[in-house]
Chain A
C-alpha cells in the first residue's frame, strides 16, 4: 500500500493551481514549513503571505484579498485556524460567503507528542455549525488534490482538514470527488461504518474482524462532512439498520453528530459514535493515542456489536 502525505499533495496542488490562475494566493501563520505552504511561496513569492504568529489577522487579510477578487488559501494547524480565528471565520468569512479556503493540517489526536494544546478534537464541530461553510476531510492524496481543486473552483468558504500522518492511498486517481457525496470502500449488509481520515483504515480493519464473526460491515468514506451525503447515510440505515460512526474528533458535534442528527429525524436506527469522549488529548505516539482514546479497529467492532444488540432490543 502506498502512503502519501496529504500536506505535500496540498502544496503541489497549490503550485499547479497557482500556475493556472493568477488569482490564487496563499497565506500562513508561521507554520508554513509544517503545512508545506512554503513550497508555494518558493514558486510564487509575490502571492504568498506569511503573517507570522497571528491567525486572526491571517483570516482577516485573506478575507480582504478574497473581497478583492483573489482566491485565498489560508493555512495553519487545525487547532489554531479553527479555534483562534473562529470568530473571524464566522463573522467575516462565512457570513459574507467569501472565497477563503481554510486548509488545515495536524487535525485530530494523531498530532502526537505536542499534546492536547495542538490536538484539534473540536474543529469539525466548530466549522460544521457555520452557515455557508463546507467541511471536507480528504482521505488520501488523490482526495486532497481533488478537494483543493474543488474548493478553488467553487465560490465561498471551505474548511479542509488533513492530519499530520501519512495516509494510505485508498481511492483511485480516476474516482470522482463530488461535494456532498461519499464513497463506498467496503460492501456490507449488517451494519455501516461511516468514517473519514485516519479512521478509515481502522474501519476497514474492523470490517475484517467482523466478517470473521459473520457480520457483514459496509464502510463508507464520508470525506464530505458538510454537506453530508444524506442519500448514502439514509440508504445505509435503511439497508443495514445499524450505523457506527468513527472519527478522530470528539463524539460531540462532529461527523457522528451530523449522522445522528440526520437519522434521528429521518430514520431513527441505532447510531453508535466512535471518537474521543468528552476529554482532552495528551502527549504520546499516534499509535498509543489511538489505543488510549478508543479509536482502534477493535473499538469500532465493539461499537458495531453494541449497535446490533440495541437493534435486536427494538
Chain B
C-alpha cells in the first residue's frame, strides 16, 4: 500500500506544524531538548498519522498498537503529536515543564493521557517494549509495539540485553526505530563512543534491519509496512536524521541538544518554518 501524494503533503504540513509547536513549547518552558525533538518529528508523525492503529477516544482499546518513546528527552514532539491527535487539549502544551503540569520534562505515564510508559533515563525503553510485545503474544493480540530509540542511547548496555532477548523470543510484533541524528550531548556519536556498524550489530542480534532517510515520510512508512510483514524476528528501522532538522541555524549543532530556543531564536525559527509551510 503506497501513500497518496495528497496524504503525503498533508503529513509534511503536519510535520511543519509540529515543529512550530515544539519550538514554541520549548521557548515558553525555557528549557528542554530542541535538537533531538526536531530530528524525530517525521518518525513520530508517520507512526501516529499513518502506521499505528490507535484511537484517542478509546485509549484503552486492547487491540491498539503501542508506542514508547525511549529517548524521553524528545517528549515535546510526542506531546505535540498526542495533543494534535486529541489525547488532551492543546492548551496543555503551554504548561510543559511547569509545576503540577500533565506534561513533565520527560514522559510520565501517570500524568499524561496517551503516554503508555514513563521514560527519561536512557537505555530502558527497548526492554519495556519487549515486555509489551511478550504480553501481546501471551494474550494472542495482533497489536504491534513501536519504540523510538536515540542513537546515543545505543551506548547503554541494557539496549543490547534487550536486543538479545527480543531476538531470542522472536518478537515479530516489535519494531524499534532509531533516530540516528549522529550527535549526543558531548559531541559527535562517532567521536564519543562509535556505535557503528549498526546494521551488522542488529543483524547479529537476530533482527531484521531496514534503513531509511528519517525525514522522508514515504520511506519511513514503507519501512514500517515492511517491518510489519517480518515473521519470526523483531525489526529495526535505522533512520538517518539531522539533529535540529528544519531550522537552519540549529541543524547539526551539538549545542542545541539540551537547550531551548531564546525568544529571538524562536521567532527566527518560526519565520523560517512558516515560509516552508
Contact = CB atoms under 8 A, between A and B. Distances in A.
A28 to B, nearest CB: 12
A57 B132 contact: no
A25 B128 contact: no
Interface in A45-89: 46-47, 49, 51-52, 54, 56-57, 59-70, 72, 87-88
Interface in B162-215: 162, 164-165, 169
A61 B68 CA distance: 13
Nearest to B158: A56
Contacts of A92: 117-118, 121, 124, 128
A33 to B, nearest CB: 19
Nearest to B106: A91
Given A96-B109, A96-B110, A96-B117, A54 B161 contact: yes
A63 B128 contact: yes
A119 interface: no
B267 interface: no
Q: Is the contact region of chain B dominated by helix, strand, or loop, or is it mixed?
A: helix
B128 A60 contact: yes
Contacts of A68: 66, 131-132, 135-136, 139
- Chain B, interface size category, equals 20 to 34
A92 B68 CA distance: 12
Contacts, number: 101
Contacts of A60: 124-128, 130-131, 158, 162
A97 interface: yes
Nearest to A27: B131
A298 B116 CA distance: 53
A280 interface: no
Interface residues of A, number: 29
B44 interface: no
A293 interface: no
A57 B127 contact: yes
Nearest to A60: B127
A7 to B, nearest CB: 24
Nearest to A95: B118
Given A51-B165, A57-B158, A91-B121, A64 B131 contact: yes
A64 B121 contact: no
Interface of B: 66, 108-110, 116-118, 120-121, 124-136, 138-139, 157-158, 161-162, 164-165, 169
Interface of A: 25, 46-47, 49, 51-52, 54, 56-57, 59-70, 72, 87-88, 91-92, 95-97
6 contacts: A54-B161, A57-B161, A68-B139, A72-B131, A96-B110, A97-B110
